[in-house]
Amino acid sequence: MSDYPNILFVITDELRATALKLYSDLGIQTPNIEKLAATGVKFEYAITPHPLCVPARVAMMSSRYPHSTGSRLNETLMPENELHAF
């Protein structure tokens, strides 16, 4: 057994919080997402270091700001020599 915890980030794209029953009475039924939120960690108040998806995700996985990784566009991949979580 590893001394490190298993961490799984579930990230959605193009999905507003109000589209989920979890956050709004008008949301659609999402029982699996609701189960994940009930048994895991739900980030209620979070900010992003960048308005675009890829640079924000690179920042999350590398623990560095997008300007320091060179990831500034959605077409930019994680730099090969960059330490990351995956």
The per-residue pLDDT for range 21-55, each reduced to its tens digit, is 888 888 788 899 889 889 988 888 888 899 998 89
Q: Give me the amino acid identity at 54.
A: V
Longest dimension (CA), the chain: 45
> What does the pLDDT average to over 60-65?
87
Question: Predicted confidence band at 86 (pLDDT cuts at 50, 70, 90)?
Answer: low
Sorted by sequence, the CB contacts under 8 Å of residue 66 that are 6+ apart come out as 49, 50, 55, 56, 58, 59, 72
Instruction: Give CA separation, 55 vs 8, 20, 83, in Å.
Output: 19, 25, 15
pLDDT for 83 beyond 70? no
